[in-house]
Amino acid sequence: MNKPVVVLGIGELGSVFSRAFLKNNYPVYPITRLTDIDELSATIDPELILVCTGESTLQAALALIPDQWKDRVAMMQNELLPRDWEPYNFTNPTVISVWFEKKKGMDSKVLISSPAYGPKAKILSDSLALIDIPSHALNSEEELLFELVLKNIYILTTNIAGLAIESGANVDDLRNQHLPLMRDVSKDVLTLQSQLTGHSFNENQLEQSMIKAFEGDLEHGCMGRSAPARLDRALELAKKFNVKVPTLQKIKDNL
Protein backbone atom coordinates (compact mmCIF):
# COMPACT_ATOMS: atom_id res chain seq x y z
CA MET A 1 0.00 0.00 0.00
CA ASN A 2 1.29 3.44 -0.93
CA LYS A 3 1.37 6.48 1.33
CA PRO A 4 -2.04 8.20 1.51
CA VAL A 5 -3.26 11.02 -0.69
CA VAL A 6 -5.22 13.92 0.76
CA VAL A 7 -7.97 15.40 -1.42
CA LEU A 8 -9.07 18.84 -0.31
CA GLY A 9 -12.59 19.29 -1.66
CA ILE A 10 -14.73 16.29 -2.61
CA GLY A 11 -16.89 17.67 -5.39
CA GLU A 12 -17.38 16.11 -8.80
CA LEU A 13 -13.75 16.39 -9.91
CA GLY A 14 -12.46 15.57 -6.45
CA SER A 15 -14.44 12.33 -6.58
CA VAL A 16 -12.89 11.43 -9.96
CA PHE A 17 -9.36 11.96 -8.69
CA SER A 18 -10.15 10.05 -5.50
CA ARG A 19 -11.33 7.03 -7.49
CA ALA A 20 -8.19 7.24 -9.64
CA PHE A 21 -5.92 7.28 -6.57
CA LEU A 22 -7.76 4.34 -5.01
CA LYS A 23 -7.39 2.33 -8.23
CA ASN A 24 -3.65 3.09 -8.01
CA ASN A 25 -3.45 1.69 -4.47
CA TYR A 26 -3.29 5.05 -2.68
CA PRO A 27 -5.48 5.41 0.41
CA VAL A 28 -7.49 8.65 0.17
CA TYR A 29 -8.20 11.03 3.02
CA PRO A 30 -10.84 13.64 2.14
CA ILE A 31 -10.85 17.12 3.63
CA THR A 32 -14.30 18.65 3.97
CA ARG A 33 -15.66 21.58 5.94
CA LEU A 34 -15.92 19.25 8.95
CA THR A 35 -12.29 18.11 8.87
CA ASP A 36 -9.80 19.37 11.44
CA ILE A 37 -6.87 19.75 9.04
CA ASP A 38 -4.32 20.40 11.81
CA GLU A 39 -5.35 17.20 13.58
CA LEU A 40 -5.14 15.26 10.32
CA SER A 41 -1.70 16.67 9.49
CA ALA A 42 -0.43 15.45 12.85
CA THR A 43 -1.75 11.96 12.12
CA ILE A 44 -0.67 11.10 8.56
CA ASP A 45 2.29 11.70 6.25
CA PRO A 46 0.69 11.95 2.79
CA GLU A 47 2.26 11.45 -0.61
CA LEU A 48 0.48 14.54 -1.92
CA ILE A 49 -2.35 16.95 -1.21
CA LEU A 50 -4.58 17.61 -4.21
CA VAL A 51 -6.61 20.81 -3.90
CA CYS A 52 -9.94 20.22 -5.67
CA THR A 53 -11.95 23.24 -4.55
CA GLY A 54 -13.54 25.65 -7.01
CA GLU A 55 -11.81 28.75 -8.34
CA SER A 56 -13.74 31.09 -6.06
CA THR A 57 -12.60 29.28 -2.88
CA LEU A 58 -9.06 28.41 -3.97
CA GLN A 59 -7.29 31.10 -1.96
CA ALA A 60 -9.05 30.14 1.25
CA ALA A 61 -8.18 26.48 0.63
CA LEU A 62 -4.50 27.18 -0.06
CA ALA A 63 -4.27 29.19 3.15
CA LEU A 64 -5.37 26.10 5.10
CA ILE A 65 -2.48 23.88 4.04
CA PRO A 66 -0.14 23.16 6.97
CA ASP A 67 3.55 24.02 6.67
CA GLN A 68 4.63 20.37 6.81
CA TRP A 69 2.58 19.64 3.67
CA LYS A 70 3.77 22.57 1.56
CA ASP A 71 6.34 20.44 -0.27
CA ARG A 72 3.70 18.13 -1.82
CA VAL A 73 0.80 20.31 -2.97
CA ALA A 74 -1.02 19.73 -6.26
CA MET A 75 -3.68 21.93 -7.90
CA MET A 76 -6.16 21.47 -10.76
CA GLN A 77 -8.41 24.56 -10.92
CA ASN A 78 -9.53 26.52 -13.98
CA GLU A 79 -8.35 30.15 -14.19
CA LEU A 80 -5.15 29.06 -12.41
CA LEU A 81 -1.88 30.97 -12.80
CA PRO A 82 1.40 31.06 -10.81
CA ARG A 83 0.29 34.27 -9.11
CA ASP A 84 -2.43 32.24 -7.36
CA TRP A 85 -0.03 29.95 -5.47
CA GLU A 86 3.18 31.97 -5.23
CA PRO A 87 2.21 33.81 -2.00
CA TYR A 88 1.99 30.50 -0.08
CA ASN A 89 5.63 29.42 -0.42
CA PHE A 90 4.88 25.92 -1.67
CA THR A 91 7.95 23.90 -2.62
CA ASN A 92 7.73 22.72 -6.24
CA PRO A 93 3.94 22.45 -6.47
CA THR A 94 2.39 20.10 -9.01
CA VAL A 95 -0.25 21.48 -11.36
CA ILE A 96 -2.55 19.67 -13.78
CA SER A 97 -4.61 21.42 -16.43
CA VAL A 98 -7.81 19.38 -16.42
CA TRP A 99 -9.34 18.70 -19.83
CA PHE A 100 -12.16 16.44 -18.69
CA GLU A 101 -15.41 17.36 -17.06
CA LYS A 102 -17.59 15.60 -14.54
CA LYS A 103 -21.17 16.58 -13.88
CA LYS A 104 -23.62 15.07 -11.45
CA GLY A 105 -25.29 11.99 -12.86
CA MET A 106 -22.84 11.51 -15.74
CA ASP A 107 -19.47 9.86 -16.19
CA SER A 108 -16.32 11.83 -16.97
CA LYS A 109 -16.13 13.32 -20.47
CA VAL A 110 -12.64 13.79 -21.91
CA LEU A 111 -11.85 16.57 -24.40
CA ILE A 112 -8.10 16.09 -24.77
CA SER A 113 -5.22 14.77 -22.67
CA SER A 114 -4.64 16.69 -19.42
CA PRO A 115 -1.06 18.00 -19.08
CA ALA A 116 0.63 18.00 -15.67
CA TYR A 117 3.90 19.37 -14.35
CA GLY A 118 5.70 18.96 -11.05
CA PRO A 119 7.15 16.24 -8.82
CA LYS A 120 3.77 14.46 -8.43
CA ALA A 121 2.74 14.68 -12.10
CA LYS A 122 3.46 11.02 -12.78
CA ILE A 123 1.26 9.91 -9.89
CA LEU A 124 -1.60 12.00 -11.28
CA SER A 125 -1.12 10.71 -14.84
CA ASP A 126 -0.69 7.07 -13.82
CA SER A 127 -3.73 7.22 -11.56
CA LEU A 128 -5.99 8.85 -14.14
CA ALA A 129 -4.92 6.30 -16.74
CA LEU A 130 -6.41 3.56 -14.57
CA ILE A 131 -9.86 5.11 -15.02
CA ASP A 132 -9.34 5.76 -18.75
CA ILE A 133 -8.61 9.48 -18.52
CA PRO A 134 -5.56 10.45 -20.61
CA SER A 135 -2.92 12.69 -19.07
CA HIS A 136 0.71 13.44 -19.80
CA ALA A 137 3.68 15.04 -18.05
CA LEU A 138 5.21 18.30 -19.22
CA ASN A 139 8.94 19.03 -19.27
CA SER A 140 9.21 22.61 -18.02
CA GLU A 141 7.57 25.49 -16.20
CA GLU A 142 7.35 27.32 -19.54
CA GLU A 143 5.27 24.50 -21.01
CA LEU A 144 3.04 24.54 -17.95
CA LEU A 145 2.47 28.29 -18.20
CA PHE A 146 1.44 27.94 -21.85
CA GLU A 147 -0.98 25.15 -20.96
CA LEU A 148 -2.53 27.13 -18.11
CA VAL A 149 -3.00 30.18 -20.34
CA LEU A 150 -4.46 27.96 -23.07
CA LYS A 151 -7.02 26.48 -20.68
CA ASN A 152 -7.91 29.93 -19.39
CA ILE A 153 -8.38 31.25 -22.93
CA TYR A 154 -10.52 28.23 -23.82
CA ILE A 155 -12.82 28.45 -20.84
CA LEU A 156 -13.05 32.25 -20.64
CA THR A 157 -13.53 32.70 -24.39
CA THR A 158 -16.24 30.06 -24.70
CA ASN A 159 -18.06 31.09 -21.52
CA ILE A 160 -17.95 34.84 -22.11
CA ALA A 161 -18.71 34.65 -25.84
CA GLY A 162 -21.56 32.33 -24.91
CA LEU A 163 -23.15 35.19 -22.99
CA ALA A 164 -23.35 37.19 -26.21
CA ILE A 165 -24.77 34.56 -28.59
CA GLU A 166 -27.84 32.39 -28.74
CA SER A 167 -28.69 30.18 -25.79
CA GLY A 168 -27.55 26.60 -26.27
CA ALA A 169 -24.73 27.45 -28.69
CA ASN A 170 -21.77 25.06 -28.67
CA VAL A 171 -18.10 25.48 -29.51
CA ASP A 172 -18.68 24.33 -33.08
CA ASP A 173 -21.24 27.13 -33.51
CA LEU A 174 -18.77 29.58 -31.99
CA ARG A 175 -15.92 28.81 -34.37
CA ASN A 176 -18.10 28.50 -37.50
CA GLN A 177 -20.79 31.15 -37.01
CA HIS A 178 -19.22 33.65 -34.59
CA LEU A 179 -15.52 33.62 -35.46
CA PRO A 180 -14.99 37.43 -35.20
CA LEU A 181 -16.59 37.42 -31.74
CA MET A 182 -14.51 34.42 -30.67
CA ARG A 183 -11.32 36.18 -31.74
CA ASP A 184 -12.26 39.51 -30.15
CA VAL A 185 -13.03 37.84 -26.83
CA SER A 186 -9.91 35.66 -26.89
CA LYS A 187 -7.78 38.71 -27.74
CA ASP A 188 -9.05 40.50 -24.62
CA VAL A 189 -8.53 37.39 -22.52
CA LEU A 190 -4.98 36.97 -23.85
CA THR A 191 -4.19 40.62 -23.13
CA LEU A 192 -5.28 40.06 -19.54
CA GLN A 193 -3.41 36.75 -19.22
CA SER A 194 -0.23 38.38 -20.50
CA GLN A 195 -0.54 41.09 -17.87
CA LEU A 196 -1.21 38.59 -15.08
CA THR A 197 1.75 36.38 -16.02
CA GLY A 198 4.24 38.98 -17.21
CA HIS A 199 4.78 36.91 -20.38
CA SER A 200 3.83 37.23 -24.03
CA PHE A 201 2.33 34.35 -25.98
CA ASN A 202 1.84 33.38 -29.61
CA GLU A 203 -1.78 34.30 -30.37
CA ASN A 204 -2.01 32.06 -33.43
CA GLN A 205 -0.56 29.06 -31.58
CA LEU A 206 -3.06 29.53 -28.77
CA GLU A 207 -5.99 29.79 -31.20
CA GLN A 208 -4.92 26.61 -33.01
CA SER A 209 -4.59 24.79 -29.70
CA MET A 210 -8.00 26.06 -28.61
CA ILE A 211 -9.58 24.81 -31.84
CA LYS A 212 -7.95 21.42 -31.25
CA ALA A 213 -9.63 21.35 -27.84
CA PHE A 214 -12.94 22.31 -29.50
CA GLU A 215 -12.59 19.26 -31.73
CA GLY A 216 -12.40 17.04 -28.66
CA ASP A 217 -16.10 17.78 -28.10
CA LEU A 218 -17.73 19.92 -30.78
CA GLU A 219 -21.06 19.82 -28.94
CA HIS A 220 -19.57 21.25 -25.76
CA GLY A 221 -21.80 24.12 -24.67
CA CYS A 222 -20.30 27.60 -24.57
CA MET A 223 -22.10 29.16 -21.64
CA GLY A 224 -21.87 27.23 -18.41
CA ARG A 225 -23.40 28.30 -15.12
CA SER A 226 -20.16 29.99 -14.12
CA ALA A 227 -20.01 32.25 -17.20
CA PRO A 228 -21.35 35.45 -15.56
CA ALA A 229 -18.98 35.04 -12.60
CA ARG A 230 -16.04 34.42 -14.94
CA LEU A 231 -16.83 37.61 -16.85
CA ASP A 232 -17.08 39.59 -13.62
CA ARG A 233 -13.75 38.23 -12.34
CA ALA A 234 -12.04 39.06 -15.64
CA LEU A 235 -13.39 42.62 -15.57
CA GLU A 236 -12.33 43.07 -11.95
CA LEU A 237 -8.79 41.96 -12.77
CA ALA A 238 -8.71 44.16 -15.87
CA LYS A 239 -9.71 47.14 -13.76
CA LYS A 240 -7.18 46.31 -11.05
CA PHE A 241 -4.31 46.05 -13.55
CA ASN A 242 -5.55 48.83 -15.86
CA VAL A 243 -5.96 46.50 -18.85
CA LYS A 244 -8.28 47.49 -21.70
CA VAL A 245 -10.74 44.73 -22.55
CA PRO A 246 -13.33 46.48 -24.75
CA THR A 247 -15.11 43.35 -25.99
CA LEU A 248 -15.56 41.94 -22.50
CA GLN A 249 -16.88 45.28 -21.27
CA LYS A 250 -19.31 45.51 -24.19
CA ILE A 251 -20.67 42.04 -23.46
CA LYS A 252 -21.15 43.00 -19.80
CA ASP A 253 -22.90 46.23 -20.75
CA ASN A 254 -25.32 44.36 -23.01
CA LEU A 255 -26.38 41.77 -20.44
Please report, for the chain, the start and end positions of each structural domain, with discontinuous segments joined by +.
5-139, 142-253
Give, in order, the Cα–Cα distances in Å from 142 to each of 81, 94, 132, 148, 158.
12, 14, 27, 10, 24
Cβ-in-10-Å burial (0-12, 13-18, 19+) of 118 comes to buried
pTM for this prediction: 0.95
Query: Is the distance from CB of 200 to CB of 187 less than 8 angstroms?
Result: no
Q: Looking at the domain 142-253, which fold is it?
A: N-(1-d-carboxylethyl)-l-norvaline Dehydrogenase; domain 2 (1.10.1040)
Q: How far apart, in whole angstroms, are the C-alpha atoms of residue 4 and residue 30? A: 10
Query: Is the distance from CB of 135 to CB of 124 less than 8 angstroms?
Result: yes
The closest alpha carbon to 102, from 7, 162, 168, 17, belongs to 17
CATH superfamily ID and name for 5-139: NAD(P)-binding Rossmann-like Domain (3.40.50.720)
pLDDT tens for each residue of the chain, 255 residues long = 799 999 999 999 999 999 999 999 999 999 998 999 999 999 999 999 999 999 989 999 999 999 999 999 999 999 999 999 999 999 999 999 999 998 888 888 999 999 999 999 999 999 999 999 999 999 999 999 999 999 999 999 999 999 999 888 999 999 999 999 999 999 999 999 999 999 999 999 999 999 999 999 999 999 988 999 999 999 999 999 999 999 999 999 998
